Structures are given as structure tokens and as C-alpha cells.
Amino acid sequence: MITVNLRPDLKRKRARSPLQGITESVRGLGARVKDPLLVVAVAAWVGALGWLGFVVMNTGRQLATLEPQLEQTRAEHRRFKAFLTEKRHQEMIRDSLVAQIGVIRSVDGDRYVWSHVLDEVSKALPAYTWLTDMGAEGVSNRPRAGTTPPPANTPRRKSRRWSIAARL
């Protein structure tokens, strides 16, 4: 191919790359800047605002993922709170019943003992035997009316000796 230069005084321009215009404008920008500290300050502000935007977006995303878990935990808390309230109510009823049973046992503690003892003695004695005296010796560990019963883990003594005076 033959090229003819119709303007001999002008040199031929080469094709430019697309990045060459950008690099030239950046070089020109450096020549136009009068205060480089101002450029550094503006770049720092842009970086700080970018960082804050990133933090806000990331925190919002984390909050959105944690809200369903928070609602689930609140519902579980309400359920357990109701359960514990019911449990305390049942424990109060149980304690009241235990106290009432203790009072009943203290009142009825010696009520039916003598009838059982006399029944066993009458079975053990021969016919036509008269009892002249019968009594208990020793100390009973049964609580009296108006006193608190002993703890459940303390053993009770059953040391009673019966003295029977009989006449044939």
C-alpha cells in the first residue's frame, strides 16, 4: 500500500491508546493542584465516609439476621417464665399440704395407739386374766401438738417398754 503525504510539514499522528487520555489528565491534575495537603485531607474524608458506610451496611445486615433469633428467644423466655411460675405455685401447695399433714400426724400421733396395744395384749394374755395396771415407760419422739415435726432424715426411736401388771 502506498501512502501519500499531502501535507509535508505535518508529521503523521499515531493512534493513541484509550488509557493515554486518562494518564495525561491525571498528570495535568498534579500540575493544577496548588495545595497537596488539601488533596490528602479530602482523600481521608472520602475514605472515612466509605468506611462508615461499610460499617453501617454490615451492622444492618447482621441486625436483620439476628432479629428472628431474638424473637424466638423472647418467646422461649415467656414460656419458661410461665413454667417457673406454675412450678412455684405447685411447690407452695405441696409445702402447705406437708405442713397440714404434719399437724394431723401430731394430733393423731397417740390417738389409736392404745386401742392397738390393748388388742395385742388381750390376744397375748390367757383367758380370764384381769389387767390391773398398764402404762408406757420411756420417751416418745413423736411431736406434740403445736410443734414442728423433726426432719425426715432423722431416725425415730421406738424404745417403749410396756409394763403390765396382771392378776390371775
Q: What pLDDT is attached to residue 159?
A: 45
105 and 88 within one domain: yes
Q: In the listed set 109, 130, 153, which residue is the last one of a domain according to the structure?
A: 109
140, with CB counted inside 10 A (0-12, 13-18, 19+), is middle
Q: What pLDDT is attached to residue 19?
A: 74
Q: What pLDDT is attached to residue 108?
A: 76
89 and 128 within one domain: no
Q: What pLDDT is attached to residue 151?
A: 57
Could you tell me if residue 130 is inside a domain?
yes
Answering whether pTM is above 0.75, one says: no
User: Would you write out the chain's pLDDT as a tens digit for each of its 168 residues?
Assistant: 788 777 777 665 666 677 777 777 777 776 777 888 888 899 999 999 999 999 999 999 999 999 999 999 999 999 999 999 999 999 999 999 999 999 888 887 767 677 788 888 888 888 888 877 777 666 555 555 555 555 555 555 444 455 555 555
Q: What pLDDT is attached to residue 52?
A: 97
How far is residue 86's CA from residue 62's CA, in Å, rounded to a whole number?
A: 37
**Residues of the domain holding 132:** 112-141+163-168
Q: In the listed set 69, 93, 109, which residue is the last one of a domain according to the structure?
A: 109
Could you tell me if residue 118 is inside a domain?
yes
Helix, strand or coil, per DSSP, at residue 101? helix
**How many structural domains compose the chain?**
2
Q: What pLDDT is attached to residue 138?
A: 61
131 and 66 within one domain: no
> How many CB atoms lie under 10 A from the CB of residue 131?
13
Q: What pLDDT is attached to residue 8?
A: 72
Q: What pLDDT is attached to residue 152?
A: 57
Could you tell me if residue 136 is inside a domain?
yes
Helix, strand or coil, per DSSP, at residue 167? strand
How many alpha carbons lie under 13 Å from residue 44 in its C-beta half-sphere? 6
Q: What pLDDT is attached to residue 160?
A: 47
128 and 96 within one domain: no
Spatial CB neighbours of 140, under 8 Å, sequence gap ≥ 6: 110, 160
Could you tell me if residue 134 is inside a domain?
yes
How far is residue 54's CA from residue 47's CA, in Å, rounded to a whole number?
A: 11
126 and 105 within one domain: no
